[in-house]
Amino acid sequence: MFHGVKDGQEVFEKAYVSKTCLSNIQVVPVPEDLDNWIEVDFDSEFNYIGKAYNVEKGIFEVCNTLVHEQNLSKRKKAYTLRSDHLFIEYQYDNSSAAEQAWREEVLAIKTEYPIK
């Protein structure tokens, strides 16, 4: 629901959370099928990305499924950019130094993008 303009920005009072996907949040347009949405107060300062609405608590929480999927995607990209070439060098050199460099980079990527 549109509330007005503040500092040149549109201000909204309400957001809508899909009952079928509690991480799907919509501000505009107001859904036509409101029976399938949960109306919540909208906070323009809150970061809704990666969050899902907890109906029982009435709050947004980190959505572990979304974080897991995002980290899987980031890991794949990091492997391609940062460790795959090290693996190829290790296969070619067959040296313990090359193997260690590859394994250390893989461990760094796994630490940076944890999957639970």
> Is there a single domain that holds both residue 42 and residue 77?
no
Contact (Cβ atoms closer than 8 angstroms) between residue 40 and residue 68: no
Residue 24 CB contacts under 8 Å (≥ 6 apart), including other chains: 17, 18
52 & 72 share domain: no
Judge contact between 30 and 16, C-beta under 8 A. Answer: yes
What tokens appear for 3 in the block? 């509330």
Mean pLDDT of 103-112: 97
Convert the pLDDT of each residue in 14-57 to its tens digit. Answer: 889 999 888 888 888 889 999 999 999 998 888 888 888 989 99
58 shares its domain with 89: no
Query: Do 71 and 83 reside in the same domain of the chain?
Result: yes
- Whole-model pTM above 0.85? no
- How far apart, in whole angstroms, are the C-alpha atoms of residue 100 and residue 86? 9
Q: Apex CA 72: angle with CA 71 and CA 78, to 5°?
A: 85
Q: Same structural domain for residues 99 and 70?
A: yes
Per-residue pLDDT at 65: 80
Tokens matching residue 91? 């296969």
The verdict on 11 and 34 lying in the same domain is: yes
| 8 and 50 belong to one structural domain | yes
